[in-house]
Structure 1
Amino acid sequence: MTYRVFSRATVLGTAALLMLGHLPQAHADNAEDLITRGRYIADASDCSACHTVKGGRPFAGGMAFKLPTGSIYSSNITPDPAHGIGGWSEAEFSRAVREGTRQNGASLYPAMPFPSYARMSDSDIHALYAYFMKGVQPVAEAPPASDIPWPLSMRWPMSLWRAAFAPSVPSAQKDVTRPFPDPAIARGAYLVEGPGHCGACHSPRGVALQEKALSGSGGPLFLSGGAPIDGFVPTSLRQDQRTGLASWSEDDIVAFLSTGRNRKGEAFGGMTDAISHGTQHLSQEDLHAMARYLLSLDPGHPTATAWHYDPAAAAALQRGDTTAQGAKLYVDHCAACHRTDGRGYAPAFPPLAGNPVVMSDKPDSLVHVVQSGAALPGMAKAPSAFVMPAYGRMLSTQQIADVVTFIRGAWGNNASPVDAATVAGLEKSAPRPVLQDKPAPLN
Structure 2
Amino acid sequence: MQKMLLVLSGIAVIVAGSLTLFVTRLPTSAFDNDIAATKATPELLIRGEMVARQADCVACHSTPVSKPFVGGLEMDTPLGSIFATNITPDKTTGIGNYSLADFDRAVRHGVTPDGRRLYPAMPYPSYAKMTDDDITALYAFFMNDVAPVKQLNEPADIEWPLNIRWPLALWNAMFVDGGVYAQKPGKDERWNRGAYLVQAAGHCGACHTPRGLGMNEKGLDELSPDFLSGAVLDGWYAPSLRQDHNTGLGRWSEEDIFQFLKNGRNRHAVVFGSMTEVYNNSLQFMTESDLRAISHYLKSLPGDPSGDGAPWRYVEAPTSISISKRTPGEQTYAERCGFCHGPDGRGQNQWISPLAGAASSLIEHTDSQINVVLNGSVRVVSNTVPGAYRMPPFREQLTDKEIADVLTYVRSAWGNHGKTVAEEDVKGLRQHTDPASSDPIILQMR
TM range, normalised to the smaller chain? 0.7 to 0.9
1:348 aligns with 2:351: yes
Which residue is 1:43 aligned to?
Answer: 53
CA contact (8 A) 1:325 1:405 kept: no
Which residue is 2:342 aligned to?
Answer: 339
User: Structure 1 residues 195 and 410 mapped into 2: Cα distance closer, same or farther (>3 Å)?
Assistant: same
Separation in 2, partners of 1:274, 1:310: 33
Which residue is 1:18 aligned to?
Answer: none
Separation in 2, partners of 1:368, 1:167: 34
Separation in 1, partners of 2:200, 2:41: 24
Q: Which structure 1 segments of 5+ residues have no match? A: 1-26
Separation in 1, partners of 2:265, 2:91: 40
Which residue is 2:206 aligned to?
Answer: 200
1:341-375 CA-to-partner distances (Å, cap 9, x unmatched) read: 10111322111111111211111110111111112
1:293 match: secondary structure: helix
Separation in 2, partners of 1:56, 1:278: 18
Separation in 1, partners of 2:323, 2:316: 14
1:177 aligns with 2:187: no
1:328 match: secondary structure: helix
Which of 383, 390, 393 is the aligned partner of 1:387? 390
Which residue is 2:434 aligned to?
Answer: 432
**C-alpha RMSD of matched pairs (Å):** 2.0
Deviation, 1:145, is 1.8
Deviation, 1:163, is 1.4
Q: How does 1:89-100 map to 2 (within 5 A)?
A: 89-100=99-110
**So what's the TM-score if we normalise by structure 1?**
0.87
Deviation, 1:179, is 2.3
CA contact (8 A) 2:45 2:145 kept: yes
Separation in 2, partners of 1:441, 1:144: 24
CA contact (8 A) 1:318 1:340 kept: no
User: Structure 1 residues 357 and 348 mapped into 2: Cα distance closer, same or farther (>3 Å)?
Assistant: same
Q: How does 1:142-157 map to 2 (within 5 A)?
A: 142-157=152-167
Structure with larger Rg: 1
CA contact (8 A) 1:390 1:435 kept: no
1:362 aligns with 2:372: no
Deviation, 1:31, is 0.6
Separation in 1, partners of 2:50, 2:372: 32
Separation in 1, partners of 2:172, 2:325: 55
CA contact (8 A) 1:71 1:148 kept: yes
1:323 aligns with 2:326: yes
Q: Percent identity among equivalent residues?
A: 42
Which residue is 2:147 aligned to?
Answer: 137
Deviation, 1:150, is 2.9
1:191 aligns with 2:197: yes
1:59 aligns with 2:53: no
User: Structure 1 residues 329 and 62 mapped into 2: Cα distance closer, same or farther (>3 Å)?
Assistant: same
**So what's the TM-score if we normalise by structure 2?**
0.86
Separation in 2, partners of 1:65, 1:71: 6
1:161 aligns with 2:171: yes
Q: How does 1:14-413 map to 2 (within 5 A)?
A: 31-169=41-179, 172-173=180-181, 176-217=182-223, 219-226=224-231, 228-302=232-306, 304-313=309-318, 316=319, 323-380=326-383, 383-413=386-416
1:190-229 CA-to-partner distances (Å, cap 9, x unmatched) read: 0001100000000010011000001112x21100001x22
Taking CA–CA contacts closer than 8 Å with sequence separation of 6 or more, which of the two structures ends up with the larger relative contact order? 2
Separation in 1, partners of 2:153, 2:277: 20
Q: Which structure 2 segments of 5+ residues have no match? A: 1-37
User: Structure 1 residues 102 and 351 mapped into 2: Cα distance closer, same or farther (>3 Å)?
Assistant: same
Deviation, 1:304, is 3.0
Which residue is 1:12 aligned to?
Answer: none
Deviation, 1:325, is 4.5
